[in-house]
């Protein structure tokens, strides 16, 4: 039982973005990620799961904004108003590196989860955009400190 409770997973990611302050559009130039998947049973599957989870998180961070009416009903429940990531939204360069397995003691043949944990790295997209906005504000003589709630959609960037 102590073996199962000792299940730790480590990862780190870094996003590089460009924003157009006039249109609010964002281009994700690159995302570099290192990920602890333990003793991967199938590296290609693990990398695919990590990339898919990361792009889903990109959507949550930059595109997908729920609009609700006064009665609480969702009013942008179609793809006309509710934007999910498309092929043009994914990073131009996306590098995923699986960390070498030092101690294959994870519960399932030494492997670790590869899908959902990568969602947490998606915050890097939001904070990279927020940082870029801060630099643009600084160039205009404004403070780099400002409040911004996710998603960092084009409307919010403008």
Known catalytic residues are: 116
Choose among 43, 46, 15: nearest CA to 28.
15
Residues 91 and 12 sit within 8 Å (Cβ to Cβ): no
Q: How far apart are the first and last CA of the chain?
A: 52
Ramachandran region, residue 149 (left: φ > 0; alpha: ψ -120 to 50; beta: rest)? beta
């Amino acid at each position: 039982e102590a073996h199962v409770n000792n299940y730790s997973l480590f990862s780190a990611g870094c996003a590089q973005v460009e924003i157009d302050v006039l249109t609010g559009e964002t281009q994700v130039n690159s995302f570099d990620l290192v990920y602890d998947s333990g003793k991967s049973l199938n590296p290609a599957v693990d990398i695919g799961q990590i990339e898919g989870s990361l792009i889903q998180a990109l959507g949550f961070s930059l595109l997908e904004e729920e609009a609700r009416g006064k009665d609480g009903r969702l009013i942008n429940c179609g793809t006309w108003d509710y934007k999910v990531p498309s092929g043009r939204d994914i990073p131009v360069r996306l590098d995923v590196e699986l960390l070498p397995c030092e101690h294959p003691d994870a519960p399932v043949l030494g492997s670790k989860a590869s899908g959902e944990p990568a969602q947490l790295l998606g915050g890097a997209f939001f904070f990279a955009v927020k940082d870029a906005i801060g630099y643009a504000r600084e160039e205009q003589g404004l403070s780099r400190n400002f409040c911004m709630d996710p998603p960092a959609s084009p409307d919010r960037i403008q």
